[in-house]
Amino acid sequence: MSAVEPQISTDLAYLYDGTPEGLLSAIFAAYARHEDPAEVTRADAYQPRLLQTAVTIPTDAAHAERVSAGIRKRLGSYAHRQVMKSTLSGRPDAGIALYRFVRFALDGVDRRDCASCRFAVDCARRTCKRQKMAAINDVTHPRVKPFFDAVRSVDNECEKIRQFARFQHLKEEGREVWFARVNPKDAVVPLVLGHFVERFNVQPFILYDEAHGVAGVWDGNRRYLVDADEGMLSLPPAGADEALMQDAWRTFYRVLSVEARYNPELRRKLMPKRFWKNLTELQPDVPGLRRS
């Protein structure tokens, strides 16, 4: 009697480098290899599971662009913007959530029957706007909800950075820049950079994301992103009046507060504690600072 061969799991995990291009490359690989991975996650966050096979997917800019262009063409510009937002999410399940949404959305477009649509007579396109929007609007579907949650998290983090970024004026002979240090959960600097460009206009600034090692730079004429570790930053010292301006802001913050209505739980909810170390108003006063 021959021995029964053990059943080996074909459970696959795709590992990528944590970049948006890497995640889109992983989605491309799933289609190219005709595979359906059970997990798509950053290589540095992967936790091996019993009988699971891990495959490292190399980042390929051309493959990522093909996926991006395909999503824009077949699902529309709105869905494409939401997809690109989700690639910036720091949630552990963001990779698999995006992959499952893309498969659900694209397969759904292929299966829909235009003959049953009341706009079919006047529509000459293969996939109309109504069809394209159907998947992303189905926010309660199990293939859409995790993706929707990741996008909403990114949107919320963008709003927090717009609220809690505190710039300081750095200046020395020949160099002048406004600098802010932030630590968002998601890599949202590319999404909020335009907001600060509009505010600062021609004044150069650096918005440094210390959590992801990325700096958004505006030199007064153009904006760009650079990878920047803490040791790579070469900044001028604080301007002569910077300490006085920070002290004035702390004083303003204290004067506006109403002690009788202090609610620490609400404060931590609206102003998460992880941002406090970079908020000017929550730093200690400078001893001996001369006030006029």
Tens-place pLDDT, residues 252-269: 999 988 888 989 899 899
Q: Over the stretch 57-97, which tens digit does the pLDDT of each residue have?
A: 999 999 999 999 999 998 889 999 999 999 999 999 999 99
In the predicted model, what is the mean pLDDT of the chain?
Answer: 86
**Letter for the amino acid at 258?**
V
Q: Evaluate whether 166 touches 278 at the Cβ level (below 8 Å).
A: yes
CA 69 to CA 128: how far, in whole Å?
Answer: 17
pLDDT value at 220 more than 60: yes
Q: If you write DSSP's letter for every residue of 53-100 in order, what string do you get?
A: EEEEPPP-HHHHHHHHHHHHHHH-HHHHHHHHHHTT---TTHHHHHHH
Residue-level pLDDT at 38? 93
Q: What residues does 208 pair with on adjacent strands?
A: 181, 215
Residue-level pLDDT at 232? 73
CA 247 to CA 254: how far, in whole Å?
Answer: 11
Structure tokens at 166: 């505190």
CA 204 to CA 217: how far, in whole Å?
Answer: 8
